[in-house]
Amino acid sequence: MFKVNGTEHSFEGLDPATPLLWVLRDSLGLVGTKYGCGIAQCGACTVHLNGQPIRACSTPMSAVEGQSITTIEGLAALDGRAEGALHPLQQAWIDHDVPQCGYCQAGQLMTAAALLKTTPHPTDADIDKAMSGNMCRCGTYTRIRKAIHAVADGGAS
C-alpha cells in the first residue's frame, strides 16, 4: 500500500522494480507527471515522497511501500486548499507567463513547492541551487525565479 494525493493504493501484482512514474501515469491516470529522460536528470518527473522531491522515473515501487506521494494533481491540496483551487505557485506561474511549451513545468512546480516549504524566503542563489536539477528546454528560468519570489513575498503576482 501507498498513498497518492491522500488516497491509498495497492501495487499488488506489479513488479516491485516498476518505476513509480509508470504506475502514476498508466495505472492511476495521473498524467501530469511527465517522462523526460528516464535517468533522473531532467526533473520532468518530479513528485514528492513524504514531502521531499524525488524523480519518479527512477524510483521503484518497492521504495514507496507505506509512503505518501504527492503529484502535481495534488499540489494545491498540500496546504488544505479546496478541490479545483490552485496552489499559489500555480497561480504565480500563470501570472508570470512561466510556461512556454509547458512540458517540464509540473516538475518545476513540485521542486519549487519543496523549496518554499524548507526555505520560505529564498534568495536567487537558493532558487538556482534548488531548481538546478530541473531542465527547461525553453529557457524560462528567469520567469520561474520571478514566480517563486512572488509567492515567497506573499502574493502570486
User: Could you read off the pLDDT of 62-82 as tens digits, one per residue?
Assistant: 999 999 999 999 999 987 888
CATH of domain 2-76: 3.10.20.30
Structure confidence at residue 155 as a pLDDT band (50, 70, 90): low
pLDDT at residue 34 in the model: 97
**What are the structural domain ranges in the chain?**
2-76, 85-152
CATH architecture observed for domain 85-152:
Orthogonal Bundle (1.10)
- Read off the pTM: 0.94
Q: How far apart are CA 74 and CA 5, in angstroms?
A: 5
Tell me: pLDDT of 157 over 60. no
Contact residues for 78 (Cβ-Cβ < 8 A; gap 6+)? 70, 87, 113
